[in-house]
Structure 1
């Protein structure tokens, strides 16, 4: 732990001043600073433990998700009714196909918009160059605002 830190979880003039200032401005801030002074040395271990638990949970759920997708369940459980499960699977496949079509349409529109912006930028640049050539040909120096 960096012991040269100005704000560390112990009774230093800086932490006491921040605590008093917190109570003056908004009392929950002062209370939070008091809790940090008293329990701050335990926060590092608490944070490490919480992160480890969250990582374990995320690993378990991602393994479950990948297994269920590989089994073709689309993250849904079987109801036991074969006809309903078949219908649901067909509907989910249809929705996936619709989503794929929408994604393709969005990609096409994005490329169209990019091309439109590029054409507009090219037209503006060409107009700028034309005006610049015309002003230089007529012997005028273009005015540059700085």
Structure 2
């Protein structure tokens, strides 16, 4: 017989494997069928940091590392070395890609900020003249 803690843990793992979309779908369905359930899922997602993108990226790389450490040797040293090298290369590519995305976000933020400052400077430099009074 499964306990509620076991059921909750297995449900959490199942949703984690399917990603952010599954968590969002569960939350929306919770709101549709019984709003306190949706609210509880939302609070849990915020509390456990599941709303941020970094949770899913870090979780997947941790699970990949766990799978590698849990795998036994295939008996073929060349294959094991190839597998380890490939997984290392994929982790490096993931890190490089996440770094690229962060630089892209930073550049976009800077562009938007510069545009805001230019518009503000233009508005300050050219004050609106009062409309002529008609008598």
Q: What is the TM-score when the length of structure 1 is the normalising length?
A: 0.44
Q: TM-score, normalised by structure 2?
A: 0.47
Asked which structure has the greater CA Rg, the reply is 1
